[in-house]
Chains A and B, each alone.
Chain A
Amino acid sequence: MIELRNVTKKYGDMEVVKTANLCVEKGDFVSVLGPSGSGKTTLLNIIAGLLSPTRGEVIVDGVSLYGLSLRKRAVFRRKKFGFIFQTFNLIPYLTTVENVEVPLYLAGIYKKKQKMIASELLEKVGLKDKLNRLPSQLSVGEQQRVAIARALANNPQVILADEPTGNLDSKTGKEVITYIRRLNEDGGTVLLVTHDREMASFARREIKIVDRRLL
Protein backbone atom coordinates (compact mmCIF):
# COMPACT_ATOMS: atom_id res chain seq x y z
CA MET A 1 0.00 0.00 0.00
CA ILE A 2 2.94 2.35 0.65
CA GLU A 3 6.06 1.91 -1.40
CA LEU A 4 9.30 3.93 -1.30
CA ARG A 5 11.52 3.53 -4.33
CA ASN A 6 15.10 4.76 -3.97
CA VAL A 7 14.04 7.80 -1.99
CA THR A 8 16.86 10.21 -1.27
CA LYS A 9 16.65 13.56 0.50
CA LYS A 10 19.48 16.04 0.48
CA TYR A 11 19.79 19.33 2.30
CA GLY A 12 22.57 21.02 0.41
CA ASP A 13 25.37 18.49 0.36
CA MET A 14 24.05 16.60 3.35
CA GLU A 15 22.16 13.41 2.53
CA VAL A 16 19.63 13.01 5.30
CA VAL A 17 17.90 10.01 3.76
CA LYS A 18 19.93 7.65 1.61
CA THR A 19 18.22 5.58 -1.09
CA ALA A 20 15.44 4.28 1.08
CA ASN A 21 13.37 1.39 -0.16
CA LEU A 22 10.38 0.37 1.90
CA CYS A 23 7.15 -1.50 1.45
CA VAL A 24 4.30 -1.31 3.94
CA GLU A 25 1.42 -3.67 3.32
CA LYS A 26 -2.18 -3.01 4.27
CA GLY A 27 -2.84 -3.95 7.89
CA ASP A 28 0.84 -3.90 8.81
CA PHE A 29 2.36 -2.12 11.81
CA VAL A 30 5.89 -1.01 10.98
CA SER A 31 8.21 0.86 13.31
CA VAL A 32 11.27 2.77 12.19
CA LEU A 33 13.85 3.04 14.95
CA GLY A 34 16.69 5.51 14.85
CA PRO A 35 18.53 7.98 17.06
CA SER A 36 17.84 11.68 17.13
CA GLY A 37 18.84 13.44 13.94
CA SER A 38 18.81 10.24 11.91
CA GLY A 39 16.16 11.54 9.53
CA LYS A 40 13.02 9.86 10.90
CA THR A 41 10.81 12.93 10.73
CA THR A 42 12.17 13.72 7.31
CA LEU A 43 11.27 10.24 6.10
CA LEU A 44 7.77 10.44 7.55
CA ASN A 45 7.16 13.88 5.99
CA ILE A 46 8.18 12.50 2.62
CA ILE A 47 5.75 9.59 2.98
CA ALA A 48 3.01 12.03 4.09
CA GLY A 49 3.37 14.04 0.89
CA LEU A 50 4.56 17.10 2.79
CA LEU A 51 8.19 17.12 1.63
CA SER A 52 9.29 16.20 -1.84
CA PRO A 53 12.33 13.90 -2.01
CA THR A 54 15.43 14.89 -3.94
CA ARG A 55 15.25 11.61 -5.85
CA GLY A 56 13.02 8.58 -5.92
CA GLU A 57 9.31 7.95 -5.77
CA VAL A 58 6.62 7.48 -3.14
CA ILE A 59 3.74 5.33 -4.28
CA VAL A 60 0.56 5.08 -2.22
CA ASP A 61 -2.16 2.75 -3.47
CA GLY A 62 -0.63 2.82 -6.91
CA VAL A 63 -0.48 6.64 -7.09
CA SER A 64 2.84 8.41 -7.31
CA LEU A 65 2.42 11.09 -4.58
CA TYR A 66 4.77 13.68 -5.99
CA GLY A 67 3.28 13.36 -9.45
CA LEU A 68 0.15 15.03 -8.04
CA SER A 69 -0.47 18.77 -7.91
CA LEU A 70 -0.16 20.47 -4.53
CA ARG A 71 -3.93 20.74 -4.21
CA LYS A 72 -4.58 17.13 -5.18
CA ARG A 73 -1.90 16.01 -2.77
CA ALA A 74 -3.70 17.91 0.03
CA VAL A 75 -6.94 16.11 -0.76
CA PHE A 76 -5.12 12.77 -1.05
CA ARG A 77 -3.44 13.36 2.30
CA ARG A 78 -6.64 14.05 4.18
CA LYS A 79 -8.31 10.98 2.70
CA LYS A 80 -5.51 8.49 3.24
CA PHE A 81 -3.52 9.59 6.27
CA GLY A 82 -4.01 10.34 9.92
CA PHE A 83 -1.20 12.11 11.76
CA ILE A 84 0.04 11.81 15.31
CA PHE A 85 2.94 14.03 16.29
CA GLN A 86 5.27 14.18 19.25
CA THR A 87 3.92 17.63 20.02
CA PHE A 88 0.24 16.72 19.52
CA ASN A 89 -0.43 19.95 17.62
CA LEU A 90 -3.95 20.40 18.84
CA ILE A 91 -5.53 23.72 17.85
CA PRO A 92 -5.38 25.60 21.17
CA TYR A 93 -8.58 27.63 20.72
CA LEU A 94 -10.71 24.61 19.84
CA THR A 95 -12.19 22.24 22.40
CA THR A 96 -11.43 18.54 22.47
CA VAL A 97 -14.45 17.63 20.39
CA GLU A 98 -13.90 20.53 17.95
CA ASN A 99 -10.30 19.44 17.38
CA VAL A 100 -11.49 15.98 16.41
CA GLU A 101 -14.15 17.51 14.16
CA VAL A 102 -11.54 19.35 12.05
CA PRO A 103 -10.62 16.45 9.72
CA LEU A 104 -14.31 15.58 9.45
CA TYR A 105 -15.07 19.14 8.41
CA LEU A 106 -12.25 18.95 5.88
CA ALA A 107 -13.80 15.78 4.50
CA GLY A 108 -17.06 17.65 3.97
CA ILE A 109 -19.14 15.86 6.56
CA TYR A 110 -22.09 17.86 7.88
CA LYS A 111 -22.01 19.40 11.31
CA LYS A 112 -24.26 17.10 13.26
CA LYS A 113 -22.52 13.99 12.02
CA GLN A 114 -19.13 15.55 12.76
CA LYS A 115 -20.10 15.93 16.39
CA MET A 116 -21.45 12.41 16.58
CA ILE A 117 -18.36 10.76 15.13
CA ALA A 118 -16.00 12.95 17.17
CA SER A 119 -17.79 12.17 20.43
CA GLU A 120 -17.71 8.45 19.68
CA LEU A 121 -14.00 8.52 18.95
CA LEU A 122 -13.27 10.46 22.11
CA GLU A 123 -15.28 7.97 24.08
CA LYS A 124 -13.07 5.23 22.64
CA VAL A 125 -9.93 6.94 23.93
CA GLY A 126 -11.57 7.45 27.32
CA LEU A 127 -12.26 11.18 27.12
CA LYS A 128 -16.06 11.05 27.10
CA ASP A 129 -16.35 13.47 30.01
CA LYS A 130 -13.85 16.00 28.64
CA LEU A 131 -15.42 16.85 25.31
CA ASN A 132 -15.65 20.58 25.93
CA ARG A 133 -12.28 21.20 27.51
CA LEU A 134 -9.64 23.26 25.80
CA PRO A 135 -6.27 21.53 25.21
CA SER A 136 -4.71 23.70 27.91
CA GLN A 137 -7.10 22.15 30.41
CA LEU A 138 -5.98 18.59 29.64
CA SER A 139 -2.99 16.57 30.82
CA VAL A 140 -0.37 15.79 28.16
CA GLY A 141 -1.47 12.17 28.02
CA GLU A 142 -5.05 13.29 27.45
CA GLN A 143 -3.90 15.71 24.77
CA GLN A 144 -2.15 12.90 22.91
CA ARG A 145 -5.29 10.79 23.14
CA VAL A 146 -7.24 13.66 21.56
CA ALA A 147 -4.59 13.75 18.82
CA ILE A 148 -5.09 10.00 18.28
CA ALA A 149 -8.86 10.43 18.10
CA ARG A 150 -8.31 13.21 15.59
CA ALA A 151 -5.95 11.06 13.52
CA LEU A 152 -8.64 8.38 13.40
CA ALA A 153 -11.53 10.66 12.56
CA ASN A 154 -11.36 10.23 8.80
CA ASN A 155 -11.08 6.52 8.98
CA PRO A 156 -7.65 6.88 7.39
CA GLN A 157 -6.07 3.88 5.75
CA VAL A 158 -2.71 4.73 7.25
CA ILE A 159 -1.72 6.26 10.58
CA LEU A 160 1.59 8.08 10.47
CA ALA A 161 2.96 8.53 13.98
CA ASP A 162 6.07 10.58 14.70
CA GLU A 163 7.40 9.90 18.17
CA PRO A 164 3.86 9.84 19.60
CA THR A 165 5.05 8.96 23.09
CA GLY A 166 8.08 11.22 23.21
CA ASN A 167 6.48 13.77 25.48
CA LEU A 168 4.78 11.27 27.77
CA ASP A 169 5.94 9.43 30.87
CA SER A 170 6.46 5.72 30.34
CA LYS A 171 3.11 4.71 31.83
CA THR A 172 0.98 7.05 29.68
CA GLY A 173 3.34 6.32 26.81
CA LYS A 174 2.46 2.66 27.05
CA GLU A 175 -1.25 3.48 27.25
CA VAL A 176 -0.99 5.51 24.09
CA ILE A 177 1.02 2.89 22.22
CA THR A 178 -1.58 0.34 23.29
CA TYR A 179 -4.27 2.44 21.61
CA ILE A 180 -2.19 2.53 18.47
CA ARG A 181 -1.64 -1.20 18.65
CA ARG A 182 -5.37 -1.75 19.02
CA LEU A 183 -5.92 0.40 15.95
CA ASN A 184 -3.73 -1.94 14.01
CA GLU A 185 -5.54 -4.96 15.40
CA ASP A 186 -8.77 -3.41 14.12
CA GLY A 187 -7.31 -3.45 10.63
CA GLY A 188 -5.52 -0.08 10.36
CA THR A 189 -2.09 0.30 8.83
CA VAL A 190 0.42 2.05 11.09
CA LEU A 191 3.84 3.52 10.43
CA LEU A 192 5.59 4.61 13.59
CA VAL A 193 8.94 6.37 13.84
CA THR A 194 10.67 6.53 17.20
CA HIS A 195 14.02 6.48 18.94
CA ASP A 196 12.54 4.39 21.75
CA ARG A 197 13.39 0.72 21.46
CA GLU A 198 10.56 -0.33 23.76
CA MET A 199 7.91 1.54 21.81
CA ALA A 200 9.29 0.20 18.54
CA SER A 201 8.88 -3.32 19.85
CA PHE A 202 5.10 -2.94 19.87
CA ALA A 203 5.16 -3.10 16.08
CA ARG A 204 4.80 -6.23 13.98
CA ARG A 205 7.88 -5.30 11.99
CA GLU A 206 10.88 -3.21 13.05
CA ILE A 207 13.16 -1.30 10.71
CA LYS A 208 16.33 0.43 11.89
CA ILE A 209 18.05 3.45 10.50
CA VAL A 210 21.78 2.97 10.46
CA ASP A 211 24.03 5.48 8.72
CA ARG A 212 20.98 7.15 7.15
CA ARG A 213 19.97 3.88 5.50
CA LEU A 214 16.95 1.71 6.25
CA LEU A 215 17.83 -1.79 7.39
Chain B
Amino acid sequence: MKLMDFITKEMIRRKRGAVAGVLCVLLGISIFVATQTTNKALYDKTKEQLLRFGANIIVQSKGEPFDIYSGSVGSAALLPEIYTQEIQSIEHSKMLIAISPKLYERFKVGTQSLLVVGITPDERKAKPWWLINNDPIVNQFPENKEVLLGQYAARRLGSSSHIELNGERFAITAVLDETGSPDDFMAFVPLKSLQSLTHKQGMVNLFEVSTSCIACKTMNVNEIAKEIDKMLHGDAQALPMKQIAEAQMATLTKVEQFTRIIYIVVLCLGAFLLMNHMSSSVANQKRDIGMLLAMGMESPKIHRIFILKGVILGLIGGFAGYFVGTGISMVLGPQIAETKVAPIVYLLPYSIGIALVIGAISSILPARKAATLDPIEALREV
Protein backbone atom coordinates (compact mmCIF):
# COMPACT_ATOMS: atom_id res chain seq x y z
CA MET B 1 0.00 0.00 0.00
CA LYS B 2 0.94 3.60 -0.51
CA LEU B 3 -1.05 6.79 -0.20
CA MET B 4 -2.04 6.78 -3.89
CA ASP B 5 -3.45 3.26 -3.54
CA PHE B 6 -6.22 4.55 -1.30
CA ILE B 7 -7.31 6.74 -4.20
CA THR B 8 -6.61 4.63 -7.27
CA LYS B 9 -7.93 1.36 -5.85
CA GLU B 10 -11.10 3.04 -4.70
CA MET B 11 -11.60 4.56 -8.15
CA ILE B 12 -10.85 1.33 -9.98
CA ARG B 13 -13.04 -0.80 -7.77
CA ARG B 14 -15.87 1.72 -7.64
CA LYS B 15 -15.85 2.77 -11.24
CA ARG B 16 -19.32 4.20 -11.27
CA GLY B 17 -18.49 6.71 -8.59
CA ALA B 18 -15.28 7.71 -10.33
CA VAL B 19 -17.05 8.13 -13.66
CA ALA B 20 -19.69 10.34 -12.02
CA GLY B 21 -16.96 12.53 -10.55
CA VAL B 22 -15.13 12.78 -13.86
CA LEU B 23 -18.37 13.69 -15.65
CA CYS B 24 -18.89 16.69 -13.36
CA VAL B 25 -15.63 18.19 -14.59
CA LEU B 26 -15.96 16.93 -18.13
CA LEU B 27 -19.28 18.73 -18.48
CA GLY B 28 -17.79 22.14 -17.80
CA ILE B 29 -14.54 21.66 -19.67
CA SER B 30 -16.18 20.28 -22.82
CA ILE B 31 -18.56 23.26 -23.02
CA PHE B 32 -15.61 25.58 -22.46
CA VAL B 33 -13.57 23.96 -25.24
CA ALA B 34 -16.53 23.67 -27.61
CA THR B 35 -17.47 27.34 -27.31
CA GLN B 36 -13.88 28.53 -27.56
CA THR B 37 -13.21 26.38 -30.61
CA THR B 38 -16.40 27.40 -32.39
CA ASN B 39 -15.84 31.06 -31.57
CA LYS B 40 -12.37 30.97 -33.02
CA ALA B 41 -13.67 29.35 -36.19
CA LEU B 42 -16.32 32.06 -36.50
CA TYR B 43 -13.75 34.74 -35.87
CA ASP B 44 -11.34 33.34 -38.45
CA LYS B 45 -14.11 33.05 -41.00
CA THR B 46 -15.18 36.65 -40.51
CA LYS B 47 -11.64 37.88 -40.66
CA GLU B 48 -11.08 36.09 -43.91
CA GLN B 49 -14.23 37.56 -45.37
CA LEU B 50 -13.05 40.96 -44.32
CA LEU B 51 -9.85 40.43 -46.25
CA ARG B 52 -11.43 38.74 -49.20
CA PHE B 53 -14.22 41.21 -49.75
CA GLY B 54 -12.13 44.12 -48.54
CA ALA B 55 -12.74 46.55 -51.37
CA ASN B 56 -16.27 45.64 -52.23
CA ILE B 57 -19.53 47.41 -51.80
CA ILE B 58 -22.94 46.07 -51.02
CA VAL B 59 -26.08 47.82 -52.13
CA GLN B 60 -29.01 46.81 -50.01
CA SER B 61 -32.36 47.93 -48.74
CA LYS B 62 -32.52 50.59 -46.05
CA GLY B 63 -35.57 48.91 -44.58
CA GLU B 64 -34.77 45.41 -43.47
CA PRO B 65 -31.62 44.34 -45.27
CA PHE B 66 -30.80 40.77 -45.99
CA ASP B 67 -28.39 39.36 -43.42
CA ILE B 68 -25.65 37.86 -45.54
CA TYR B 69 -23.91 36.38 -42.50
CA SER B 70 -26.69 34.34 -41.02
CA GLY B 71 -28.28 33.74 -44.42
CA SER B 72 -31.70 33.90 -42.83
CA VAL B 73 -34.10 34.99 -45.53
CA GLY B 74 -37.11 35.78 -43.36
CA SER B 75 -38.76 39.06 -44.27
CA ALA B 76 -35.75 40.71 -45.90
CA ALA B 77 -36.76 43.66 -48.07
CA LEU B 78 -36.32 43.47 -51.84
CA LEU B 79 -34.92 45.89 -54.40
CA PRO B 80 -35.70 46.06 -58.10
CA GLU B 81 -33.09 44.39 -60.27
CA ILE B 82 -32.98 47.40 -62.61
CA TYR B 83 -30.99 49.33 -60.00
CA THR B 84 -28.03 47.76 -61.81
CA GLN B 85 -28.36 50.54 -64.34
CA GLU B 86 -28.32 53.27 -61.71
CA ILE B 87 -25.20 51.85 -60.15
CA GLN B 88 -23.64 51.59 -63.58
CA SER B 89 -24.25 55.28 -64.20
CA ILE B 90 -21.91 56.67 -61.53
CA GLU B 91 -19.18 59.09 -62.44
CA HIS B 92 -16.30 56.68 -61.95
CA SER B 93 -18.05 53.70 -63.52
CA LYS B 94 -14.72 52.64 -65.02
CA MET B 95 -13.74 51.53 -61.55
CA LEU B 96 -16.52 48.97 -61.42
CA ILE B 97 -15.57 45.43 -62.34
CA ALA B 98 -18.84 43.72 -61.75
CA ILE B 99 -22.29 44.37 -60.41
CA SER B 100 -23.95 41.18 -59.34
CA PRO B 101 -27.57 41.31 -58.24
CA LYS B 102 -28.48 38.52 -55.89
CA LEU B 103 -31.60 36.90 -54.60
CA TYR B 104 -31.48 34.45 -51.68
CA GLU B 105 -33.93 31.77 -50.68
CA ARG B 106 -33.75 28.87 -48.28
CA PHE B 107 -35.07 25.50 -49.45
CA LYS B 108 -35.55 22.18 -47.80
CA VAL B 109 -33.70 19.57 -49.85
CA GLY B 110 -34.28 16.14 -48.40
CA THR B 111 -33.52 16.66 -44.73
CA GLN B 112 -31.07 19.50 -45.32
CA SER B 113 -31.72 23.20 -45.35
CA LEU B 114 -30.01 24.76 -48.36
CA LEU B 115 -29.38 28.43 -49.03
CA VAL B 116 -29.92 29.00 -52.77
CA VAL B 117 -28.59 32.13 -54.47
CA GLY B 118 -29.83 33.51 -57.74
CA ILE B 119 -26.89 34.97 -59.73
CA THR B 120 -26.18 36.55 -63.11
CA PRO B 121 -23.23 35.75 -65.39
CA ASP B 122 -21.49 38.84 -63.96
CA GLU B 123 -20.83 36.75 -60.86
CA ARG B 124 -17.95 35.10 -62.72
CA LYS B 125 -16.14 38.44 -62.91
CA ALA B 126 -16.85 39.13 -59.26
CA LYS B 127 -15.59 35.75 -58.13
CA PRO B 128 -12.41 35.04 -60.09
CA TRP B 129 -11.39 32.60 -57.35
CA TRP B 130 -14.23 30.23 -58.13
CA LEU B 131 -12.62 27.05 -59.48
CA ILE B 132 -13.82 23.63 -60.46
CA ASN B 133 -11.18 20.94 -60.02
CA ASN B 134 -8.55 23.68 -59.95
CA ASP B 135 -9.61 25.13 -63.31
CA PRO B 136 -11.56 28.32 -63.95
CA ILE B 137 -15.20 27.88 -64.80
CA VAL B 138 -15.83 27.40 -68.51
CA ASN B 139 -19.24 26.13 -69.39
CA GLN B 140 -20.38 24.86 -66.02
CA PHE B 141 -21.99 28.18 -65.13
CA PRO B 142 -25.63 27.46 -64.34
CA GLU B 143 -28.17 28.28 -67.00
CA ASN B 144 -31.88 27.70 -66.98
CA LYS B 145 -32.78 24.83 -64.59
CA GLU B 146 -29.20 24.21 -63.64
CA VAL B 147 -27.48 24.54 -60.30
CA LEU B 148 -23.87 24.99 -59.23
CA LEU B 149 -23.07 23.67 -55.75
CA GLY B 150 -20.64 24.88 -53.13
CA GLN B 151 -18.24 22.26 -51.80
CA TYR B 152 -19.92 21.58 -48.43
CA ALA B 153 -23.42 22.00 -49.77
CA ALA B 154 -22.61 19.19 -52.20
CA ARG B 155 -21.14 17.03 -49.46
CA ARG B 156 -24.15 17.53 -47.27
CA LEU B 157 -26.57 16.69 -50.05
CA GLY B 158 -24.70 13.56 -51.07
CA SER B 159 -24.04 12.47 -54.62
CA SER B 160 -26.81 13.00 -57.12
CA SER B 161 -27.16 14.43 -60.59
CA HIS B 162 -29.88 16.88 -59.69
CA ILE B 163 -31.77 18.51 -56.82
CA GLU B 164 -35.39 19.47 -56.48
CA LEU B 165 -36.38 22.96 -55.39
CA ASN B 166 -40.09 23.43 -54.75
CA GLY B 167 -40.72 20.39 -56.88
CA GLU B 168 -38.69 21.68 -59.82
CA ARG B 169 -35.71 19.71 -61.02
CA PHE B 170 -32.33 21.44 -61.29
CA ALA B 171 -29.47 19.58 -62.93
CA ILE B 172 -26.17 19.90 -61.07
CA THR B 173 -23.60 21.31 -63.49
CA ALA B 174 -20.63 21.13 -61.17
CA VAL B 175 -19.33 21.43 -57.62
CA LEU B 176 -17.10 24.37 -56.74
CA ASP B 177 -13.74 23.80 -55.11
CA GLU B 178 -13.53 24.85 -51.49
CA THR B 179 -13.32 28.66 -51.23
CA GLY B 180 -13.19 29.08 -47.46
CA SER B 181 -16.14 31.45 -47.69
CA PRO B 182 -19.89 31.07 -47.10
CA ASP B 183 -20.16 30.17 -50.81
CA ASP B 184 -19.07 26.66 -49.80
CA PHE B 185 -22.40 26.14 -48.11
CA MET B 186 -24.61 27.58 -50.84
CA ALA B 187 -26.10 26.56 -54.15
CA PHE B 188 -26.19 28.86 -57.19
CA VAL B 189 -28.91 29.04 -59.82
CA PRO B 190 -29.64 31.63 -62.49
CA LEU B 191 -31.29 34.71 -61.04
CA LYS B 192 -34.23 34.42 -63.43
CA SER B 193 -34.94 30.83 -62.36
CA LEU B 194 -34.98 31.73 -58.68
CA GLN B 195 -37.11 34.81 -59.28
CA SER B 196 -39.78 32.80 -61.02
CA LEU B 197 -39.52 29.95 -58.54
CA THR B 198 -40.17 32.33 -55.64
CA HIS B 199 -42.54 34.66 -57.51
CA LYS B 200 -40.19 37.60 -57.04
CA GLN B 201 -39.87 38.53 -60.69
CA GLY B 202 -37.48 41.42 -61.25
CA MET B 203 -36.52 41.63 -57.58
CA VAL B 204 -33.28 40.99 -55.71
CA ASN B 205 -32.03 41.13 -52.10
CA LEU B 206 -28.85 43.00 -52.79
CA PHE B 207 -26.16 43.92 -55.28
CA GLU B 208 -22.54 43.05 -54.76
CA VAL B 209 -20.38 45.68 -56.41
CA SER B 210 -16.77 44.77 -57.12
CA THR B 211 -14.41 47.63 -57.67
CA SER B 212 -11.16 47.39 -59.53
CA CYS B 213 -7.92 47.29 -57.65
CA ILE B 214 -6.88 50.65 -59.02
CA ALA B 215 -9.81 52.04 -57.14
CA CYS B 216 -8.39 50.68 -53.94
CA LYS B 217 -5.28 52.77 -54.41
CA THR B 218 -6.32 55.97 -56.12
CA MET B 219 -9.64 56.43 -54.49
CA ASN B 220 -11.18 55.26 -51.29
CA VAL B 221 -13.86 52.62 -51.61
CA ASN B 222 -16.00 54.84 -49.39
CA GLU B 223 -16.03 57.50 -52.11
CA ILE B 224 -17.34 55.08 -54.69
CA ALA B 225 -19.97 53.98 -52.19
CA LYS B 226 -20.96 57.61 -51.79
CA GLU B 227 -21.21 58.06 -55.56
CA ILE B 228 -23.48 55.03 -55.77
CA ASP B 229 -25.57 56.34 -52.88
CA LYS B 230 -26.18 59.54 -54.84
CA MET B 231 -27.63 57.62 -57.76
CA LEU B 232 -29.88 55.43 -55.65
CA HIS B 233 -33.43 56.18 -54.63
CA GLY B 234 -34.28 56.58 -50.97
CA ASP B 235 -35.01 52.93 -50.35
CA ALA B 236 -31.46 51.62 -50.85
CA GLN B 237 -27.98 52.37 -49.64
CA ALA B 238 -24.43 51.46 -50.58
CA LEU B 239 -22.21 50.13 -47.83
CA PRO B 240 -18.53 49.42 -48.10
CA MET B 241 -18.09 45.77 -47.15
CA LYS B 242 -15.47 46.60 -44.58
CA GLN B 243 -18.01 48.44 -42.53
CA ILE B 244 -20.29 45.44 -42.57
CA ALA B 245 -17.46 43.17 -41.60
CA GLU B 246 -16.62 45.46 -38.71
CA ALA B 247 -20.21 45.38 -37.57
CA GLN B 248 -20.01 41.61 -37.84
CA MET B 249 -16.90 41.60 -35.66
CA ALA B 250 -18.77 43.59 -33.03
CA THR B 251 -21.56 41.03 -33.08
CA LEU B 252 -18.95 38.35 -32.74
CA THR B 253 -17.56 40.00 -29.63
CA LYS B 254 -21.04 39.97 -28.15
CA VAL B 255 -21.43 36.30 -29.00
CA GLU B 256 -18.09 35.69 -27.32
CA GLN B 257 -19.17 37.48 -24.18
CA PHE B 258 -22.38 35.49 -24.12
CA THR B 259 -20.63 32.14 -24.52
CA ARG B 260 -18.16 33.15 -21.83
CA ILE B 261 -21.02 33.59 -19.38
CA ILE B 262 -22.37 30.20 -20.41
CA TYR B 263 -19.17 28.29 -19.91
CA ILE B 264 -18.34 30.04 -16.65
CA VAL B 265 -21.77 29.08 -15.35
CA VAL B 266 -21.34 25.49 -16.53
CA LEU B 267 -17.83 25.30 -15.04
CA CYS B 268 -19.17 26.54 -11.70
CA LEU B 269 -22.02 24.08 -11.92
CA GLY B 270 -19.50 21.29 -12.58
CA ALA B 271 -17.45 22.38 -9.57
CA PHE B 272 -20.58 22.40 -7.43
CA LEU B 273 -21.60 18.93 -8.64
CA LEU B 274 -18.09 17.63 -7.97
CA MET B 275 -18.17 19.09 -4.48
CA ASN B 276 -21.46 17.30 -3.86
CA HIS B 277 -20.02 14.12 -5.26
CA MET B 278 -16.95 14.39 -3.02
CA SER B 279 -19.07 15.16 0.03
CA SER B 280 -21.23 12.11 -0.47
CA SER B 281 -18.10 10.09 -1.12
CA VAL B 282 -16.78 11.21 2.29
CA ALA B 283 -20.13 10.41 3.89
CA ASN B 284 -20.15 6.94 2.35
CA GLN B 285 -16.63 6.23 3.50
CA LYS B 286 -17.15 7.45 7.02
CA ARG B 287 -16.54 4.05 8.59
CA ASP B 288 -13.44 3.47 6.48
CA ILE B 289 -12.06 6.85 7.46
CA GLY B 290 -12.89 6.15 11.10
CA MET B 291 -11.02 2.85 10.91
CA LEU B 292 -7.97 4.49 9.31
CA LEU B 293 -7.95 7.14 12.03
CA ALA B 294 -8.33 4.47 14.73
CA MET B 295 -5.40 2.58 13.24
CA GLY B 296 -3.34 5.72 13.64
CA MET B 297 -3.42 7.37 10.24
CA GLU B 298 -2.80 11.09 10.84
CA SER B 299 -5.61 13.33 9.72
CA PRO B 300 -3.42 15.41 7.33
CA LYS B 301 -2.99 12.21 5.36
CA ILE B 302 -6.75 11.70 5.20
CA HIS B 303 -6.97 15.30 4.04
CA ARG B 304 -4.40 14.71 1.33
CA ILE B 305 -6.19 11.57 0.10
CA PHE B 306 -9.38 13.49 -0.61
CA ILE B 307 -7.71 16.54 -2.14
CA LEU B 308 -5.69 14.24 -4.39
CA LYS B 309 -8.81 12.37 -5.33
CA GLY B 310 -10.47 15.61 -6.43
CA VAL B 311 -7.38 16.62 -8.36
CA ILE B 312 -7.19 13.27 -10.15
CA LEU B 313 -10.89 13.33 -11.05
CA GLY B 314 -10.32 16.87 -12.35
CA LEU B 315 -7.27 15.82 -14.34
CA ILE B 316 -9.13 13.01 -16.09
CA GLY B 317 -12.20 15.18 -16.60
CA GLY B 318 -10.13 18.01 -18.05
CA PHE B 319 -8.25 15.76 -20.41
CA ALA B 320 -11.36 13.96 -21.63
CA GLY B 321 -13.34 17.21 -21.66
CA TYR B 322 -10.90 18.75 -24.14
CA PHE B 323 -11.45 15.96 -26.63
CA VAL B 324 -15.20 15.77 -26.10
CA GLY B 325 -15.49 19.55 -26.49
CA THR B 326 -13.34 19.57 -29.61
CA GLY B 327 -15.42 16.72 -31.00
CA ILE B 328 -18.67 18.55 -30.30
CA SER B 329 -17.49 21.74 -32.01
CA MET B 330 -16.19 19.85 -35.02
CA VAL B 331 -19.50 18.08 -35.47
CA LEU B 332 -21.83 20.96 -34.64
CA GLY B 333 -19.60 23.84 -35.75
CA PRO B 334 -20.14 23.47 -39.49
CA GLN B 335 -23.89 23.42 -38.91
CA ILE B 336 -24.01 26.42 -36.59
CA ALA B 337 -21.24 28.58 -38.00
CA GLU B 338 -21.28 27.28 -41.59
CA THR B 339 -17.53 27.03 -41.50
CA LYS B 340 -14.92 24.37 -40.92
CA VAL B 341 -13.79 24.03 -37.31
CA ALA B 342 -10.23 23.11 -36.43
CA PRO B 343 -9.07 21.83 -33.02
CA ILE B 344 -7.18 24.35 -30.89
CA VAL B 345 -4.23 22.56 -29.34
CA TYR B 346 -3.33 25.24 -26.81
CA LEU B 347 -6.72 24.75 -25.16
CA LEU B 348 -5.55 21.36 -23.87
CA PRO B 349 -3.20 22.75 -21.19
CA TYR B 350 -5.82 25.36 -20.33
CA SER B 351 -8.49 22.67 -19.95
CA ILE B 352 -6.29 20.58 -17.72
CA GLY B 353 -5.28 23.62 -15.67
CA ILE B 354 -8.86 24.74 -15.11
CA ALA B 355 -9.94 21.18 -14.34
CA LEU B 356 -7.16 20.83 -11.75
CA VAL B 357 -8.28 24.01 -10.03
CA ILE B 358 -11.91 22.83 -10.07
CA GLY B 359 -10.87 19.45 -8.67
CA ALA B 360 -8.80 20.99 -5.90
CA ILE B 361 -11.31 23.68 -4.92
CA SER B 362 -14.25 21.28 -4.95
CA SER B 363 -12.50 18.91 -2.59
CA ILE B 364 -11.33 21.43 0.01
CA LEU B 365 -14.47 21.26 2.13
CA PRO B 366 -15.12 17.51 1.78
CA ALA B 367 -11.46 16.79 2.56
CA ARG B 368 -11.59 18.98 5.65
CA LYS B 369 -14.74 17.21 6.73
CA ALA B 370 -13.04 13.82 6.31
CA ALA B 371 -9.91 14.90 8.16
CA THR B 372 -11.81 16.24 11.14
CA LEU B 373 -14.07 13.23 11.59
CA ASP B 374 -14.17 11.84 15.09
CA PRO B 375 -13.15 8.19 14.69
CA ILE B 376 -15.56 7.04 17.39
CA GLU B 377 -18.52 8.81 15.82
CA ALA B 378 -17.51 7.52 12.42
CA LEU B 379 -17.16 3.94 13.59
CA ARG B 380 -20.44 3.94 15.45
CA GLU B 381 -22.44 4.57 12.32
CA VAL B 382 -23.68 1.43 10.67
Contacts and interface: CB of A to CB of B under 8 A. Distances in A.
Contacts of A92: 288
B376 A77 contact: no
B294 A93 contact: no
B214 interface: no
Interface in A52-86: 71, 74-79, 83, 85
A104 B2 CA distance: 10
B2 A50 contact: no
B26 interface: no
B379 A114 contact: no
Nearest to A151: B295
B382 A103 contact: no
Contacts of A114: 1
A94 B297 CA distance: 16
Interface string B120-154: 00000000000000000000000000000000000
A74 B9 CA distance: 24
Nearest to A114: B1
A117 to B, nearest CB: 12
B292 interface: yes
A98 interface: yes
B332 interface: no
The interface residues of chain B, by DSSP majority, are classed as helix
Q: On chain B, which size bracket covers the interface?
A: 20 to 34
A83 B1 contact: no
Interface in B258-309: 287-288, 290-299
B375 interface: yes
A83 B294 contact: yes
B379 A89 contact: yes
Given A93-B13, A105-B1, 10 more contacts: A48-B294, A50-B294, A50-B376, A75-B296, A77-B294, A77-B295, A77-B296, A89-B287, A98-B9, A101-B1
Interface of B: 1-2, 5, 9-10, 13-14, 287-288, 290-299, 375-376, 379, 382
Interface of A: 45, 48, 50-51, 71, 74-79, 83, 85, 87, 89, 91-94, 98, 101-106, 111, 114, 134
28 contacts: A45-B376, A48-B294, A51-B376, A71-B298, A74-B296, A75-B298, A76-B296, A78-B296, A78-B297, A83-B295, A87-B287, A89-B290, A89-B291, A89-B379, A91-B288, A93-B13, A93-B14, A94-B5, A94-B9, A98-B1, A101-B1, A102-B295, A103-B296, A105-B1, A106-B295, A106-B296, A111-B1, A114-B1
